[in-house]
Amino acid sequence: MTPFDYDFLRRLLKDRSGLVLSADKEYLVESRLLPVARKNSLGSLGELVQKLKVPGSENLLVAVVEAMTTNETFFLRDKVPFDHFRQSIIPSLLAARESRRRLRIWCAAASTGQEPYSLAMCLKDMGPRLDGWRIEMVATDLSMDVLDKARAGIYSQFEVQRGLPIQMLLKYFTQTGETWQISPEIRSMVQYRTLNLLGDFTSLGPFDLVFCRNVLIYFDQPTKIGVLERIRKVTEPDGFLVLGAAETVVGLTDAFKPVPDQRGVYAPNGASAAAKPAVFAMPATQRLAANFGGQR
């Protein structure tokens, strides 16, 4: 791959996905895109680049973007956000939404589904506390391939062993050979949709909780600012945003402010200070009503 080919791919990925690659990441590009080239009967990355420049190569372009933006995920990742979700965020939102008894949650950059399903299992474990409530959980990602896997809810032994307590595994999964499938009940609680965070998503409607973790770290500063300000437009004035441990709004935008003593948790600026501690936000993209205790 020539320097010109690499520069072309860097610009392409930045424009289409927001992914910023430094000049020393050629090894990463080669490891992820050589399989794409071979699958399309192309002998090298140079041939792949030339093919991408030809009109009508949209399917190949999508495959390239998906190969480069597939990121690691696992169940109950980092644990602390999910503890806060159970212990503080949901109780706080239940109190604030008592009159309408409806919550909307967005899980952005949901990848293969471990994060939204972790949230769904946490909600299911709350049992009668959510009787009569309508919970709409939307999970989005740029990659159609990872969303297809998320919808199927089938994971390897290695994937379910990463972060998932044995009690949850036995309660919510069924083993078939060497794989485990999450129960239809949990799968039905999440609706998946393809979404590019670089675009406008106000059509999704407002959310009480937005989880957007471990994706902003791949963007440059102007892109981070744009994404955060668009998320603010779909976050309720008293809602919450949760970012990854290495991410922050500080120094980027005034759209959100940190929740005191709650690392990674943010509230829309101008929101009431009455919010309970440990409020987290979740990824969102489309609606799905979850059935709790027979209530819809």
Q: Is the pLDDT of residue 275 over 70?
A: no
Q: Do 170 and 211 lie in a common domain?
A: yes
Structure confidence at residue 179 (pLDDT)? 96
Q: Do 182 and 47 lie in a common domain?
A: no
At residue 259 the predicted structure's pLDDT band, cuts being 50, 70 and 90, is: confident
The total of structural domains in the chain comes to 2
In a domain, 198, yes or no: yes
Last residue of a domain, one of 69, 94, 112: 69
Q: Do 185 and 264 lie in a common domain?
A: yes
At residue 263 the predicted structure's pLDDT band, cuts being 50, 70 and 90, is: confident
pLDDT in tens, 81-102: 898 899 888 999 999 999 999 9
Q: Is the pLDDT of residue 280 over 70?
A: no
Cβ-contact 163, 82 below 8 angstroms: no
Structure confidence at residue 271 (pLDDT)? 53
Last residue of a domain, one of 14, 38, 69: 69
Structure confidence at residue 130 (pLDDT)? 95
Which of residues 68 and 241 earns the better pLDDT score?
241
Domain residues for 231? 80-290
Q: Do 137 and 268 lie in a common domain?
A: yes
pLDDT in tens, 13-69: 999 888 888 888 888 889 889 999 999 999 899 999 999 998 888 889 888 988 887
Q: Name residue 191's beta-bridge partners.
A: 138
Which of residues 108 and 23 earns the better pLDDT score?
108
Cα separation, 203 vs 39, whole angstroms: 36
Query: Annotated active-site positions, please?
Result: 32, 141
Last residue of a domain, one of 13, 39, 69: 69
Q: Is 154 helix (H, G, I), strand (E, B) or coil?
A: strand
Q: Is the pLDDT of residue 110 over 50?
A: yes
Q: Is the pLDDT of residue 160 over 80?
A: yes
Q: Angle at which helices 3-17 and 45-52 pack, to 10 degrees? A: 50
Average pLDDT, the chain: 87
pLDDT in tens, 204-224: 999 999 999 999 998 999 999
Q: Is the pLDDT of residue 292 over 80?
A: no
Cα separation, 101 vs 212, whole angstroms: 24
In a domain, 75, yes or no: no
Cα separation, 84 vs 277, whole angstroms: 8
